[in-house]
């Protein structure tokens, strides 16, 4: 038998855990992977790059919006298309007859028609079918918060499974229910978040869960009922080469920058708009740049109109990474007004640029941002008055901005880089593979 044949045969034998020093073959699943649509896409992009730089073979398997991966890093992308029912400019579209391929497509449309969100379930079913046809080709499957029924029992197909839960989506559900106006709106929210019942059931049966903070770990145990010993914290981080200080970028007086979807209650943008109105009574050059989509109506739009802030709040979207970094570098303050975060990448990225941070204490934000007065100014979530006081204090004190900015970057370099995240994740991969290899009745593909 030739050496090539031996290697080919070995690549299809999942009978034992890979040796501790052998590079791993990793399938990284993500049902929503575009890094411009939220934190899950950012996670996939940066983690896959750093895993590849550590010498592992990484294949990202994703649906629309497809992941955007760093070129030249050796990370493969396999597109597993859905019907893409929420694409712009035609969200909630009805597919043409010729678009239907199988029963999973029919299920996807039926769930949408009844007001639900089908993508986690239907992606998991497609991913299971895809993986079943590739038995023996991966040492570990890493699911990025799909938590769909199709992923249960992958170990019997020969695939040790590790799942990242950034934070329980039940938190988002409750915050949207709290903000819903009227019985009809609350019923609509419940239908949309119907998939969280599935995610709870699946999470309780997962052998190994990764999460990004101690706060998220506690909520996964409490909200989803996952046993504590199955949940492991591996913090994520900022791209500290990209997000770095640049003294050549001029500071724009009064600029405050934040990253937020306009009317997601979780992000607390309406409270930041209210705080800005208070700040401008004493510092009229204060203005806000929001990295995210602008809503034409809703609480944020109403607040902007109510306080006469049309010329003081600007929304930008679709900008490149270098443009984003320069936007943050040029701000006098970066702000995270969220009511809750499972980690808060925007906080870590802003701190990495040396831009001083004002942030709430919602969820895991203090784990990232650090102590009030040392690496940030911290305020209670939902308190626009306290947020206004923090913003006004920073705008009026250049030395405080310099001190917090320097300390913030040092904190990120010590604790929150993507290389550190990749190293910690690989430890969990090897542990999962070893546990799976030692389990009675382990599948042989």
pLDDT, tens digit (0-9, with 9 covering 90-100), for 394-424: 999 999 999 999 999 999 999 999 999 999 9
85 token code pair: 């029912």
Is the separation of the CB atoms in 359 and 375 below 8 Å? no
- Chain segment 293-313, per-residue pLDDT in tens: 888 888 999 999 999 999 999
What per-residue confidence (pLDDT) applies to 21? 76
pLDDT of residue 10: 39
Decide which of 15 and 91 is more confident: 91
- What would the pLDDT profile of 330-348 be if each residue is shown by its tens digit? 999 999 999 999 899 999 9
Rounded Cα distance, 90 and 75, in Å: 31
The superfamily in CATH containing domain 3-237+419-437 is Glycogen Phosphorylase B; (3.40.50.2000)
**How many H helices and E strands in the chain?**
16, 13
DSSP 8-state code for residue 94 = P
Kindly tell me if the per-residue pLDDT of 197 is higher than 50. yes
- Asked if the domains at 3-237+419-437 and 255-416 fall in one CATH topology, the answer is yes
- pLDDT, position 14: 45
Residue-range domain boundaries for the chain: 3-237+419-437, 255-416
Q: Kindly list the distances between the CA atom of residue 356 and the CA atoms of 229, 335, 408, in Å, as whole numbers in the listed order.
A: 37, 9, 7
- Residue 177, pLDDT score: 87
**pLDDT at residue 225, as a whole number:** 95
The rounded distance, in Å, linking the Cα atoms of 27 and 383 is 42
Q: Rounded to an integer, what distance in angstroms lies between the CA atom of residue 46 and that of residue 69?
A: 8
pLDDT over 50 at 15, yes or no: no
The pLDDT value recorded for residue 266 is 84
Percent of the chain with pLDDT over 70: 92
Backbone angles phi, psi at 211, to 5 degrees: -140, 170
What CATH superfamily classification does 255-416 receive?
Glycogen Phosphorylase B; (3.40.50.2000)
Confidence bin at 145 (pLDDT 50/70/90): very high
Confidence of residue 37 (pLDDT cuts 50, 70, 90): low
Does the pLDDT of residue 204 top 90, yes or no? yes
pLDDT bucket at 358, cuts 50 / 70 / 90: very high
Residue 219 has pLDDT above 50, yes or no: yes
Residue-level pLDDT at 9: 39
Task: Determine the average pLDDT of the residues in 437-441.
Answer: 59
Q: Is the pLDDT of residue 280 over 80?
A: yes
Residue ranges with strand state E in 310-361: 313-316, 333-336, 357-360
Query: Position of tokens 């050059």?
Result: 285
Average pLDDT, the chain: 91
Quick one: pLDDT at residue 297? 84
Longest dimension (CA), the chain: 81
> For 100-116, what is each residue's pLDDT tens digit?
999 999 999 999 999 99
């Amino acid at each position: 038998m030739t050496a090539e044949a031996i290697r080919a045969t070995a690549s299809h034998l999942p009978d034992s855990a890979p040796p501790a020093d052998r590079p791993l073959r990793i399938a990284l699943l993500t049902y929503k992977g575009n890094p411009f649509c939220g934190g899950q896409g950012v996670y996939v992009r940066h983690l896959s790059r750093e895993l590849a730089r550590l010498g592992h073979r990484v294949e990202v398997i994703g649906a629309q919006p497809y992941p955007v991966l760093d070129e030249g890093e050796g990370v493969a992308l396999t597109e597993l298309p859905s019907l893409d029912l929420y694409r712009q400019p035609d969200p909630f579209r009805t597919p043409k007859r010729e678009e239907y391929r199988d029963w999973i497509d029919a299920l996807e449309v039926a769930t949408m028609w009844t007001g639900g969100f089908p993508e986690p379930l239907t992606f998991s079913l497609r991913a299971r079918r895809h993986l079943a046809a590739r038995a023996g080709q991966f040492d570990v499957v890493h699911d990025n918060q799909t938590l769909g029924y199709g992923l249960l029992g992958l170990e019997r197909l020969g695939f040790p499974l590790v799942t990242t839960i950034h934070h329980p989506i039940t938190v988002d559900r409750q915050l949207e229910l709290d903000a819903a106006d009227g019985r009809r709106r609350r019923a609509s929210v419940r239908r949309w978040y119907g998939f969280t019942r599935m995610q709870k059931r699946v999470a309780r049966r997962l052998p190994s869960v990764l999460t990004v903070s101690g706060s998220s770990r506690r909520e996964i145990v409490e909200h989803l009922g996952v046993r504590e010993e199955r949940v492991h914290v591996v913090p994520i981080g900022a791209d500290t080469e990209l997000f770095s200080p640049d003294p050549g970028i001029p500071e724009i007086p009064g600029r405050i920058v934040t990253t937020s979807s306009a009317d997601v209650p979780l992000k607390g943008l309406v409270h930041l708009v209210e705080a800005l109105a208070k700040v401008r009574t004493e510092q009229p050059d204060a203005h806000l740049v929001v990295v995210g989509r602008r809503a034409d109506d809703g609480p944020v739009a109403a607040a902007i109109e109510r306080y006469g802030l049309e010329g003081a709040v600007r929304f930008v979207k679709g900008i490149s990474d270098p443009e984003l970094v320069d936007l943050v570098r040029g701000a006098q303050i970066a702000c995270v007004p969220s009511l809750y975060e499972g980690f808060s990448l925007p906080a870590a990225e802003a701190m990495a640029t040396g831009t001083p941070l004002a942030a709430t204490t919602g969820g895991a934000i203090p784990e990232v941002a650090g102590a009030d007065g040392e690496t940030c100014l911290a305020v209670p979530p939902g308190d626009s008055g306290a947020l206004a006081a923090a913003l006004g204090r920073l705008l009026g004190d250049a030395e405080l901005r310099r001190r917090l900015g320097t300390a913030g970057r040092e904190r990120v370099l010590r604790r929150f880089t993507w290389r550190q995240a990749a190293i910690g994740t690989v430890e969990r991969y090897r542990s999962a593979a070893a546990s799976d290899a030692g389990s009675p009745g382990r599948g042989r593909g």
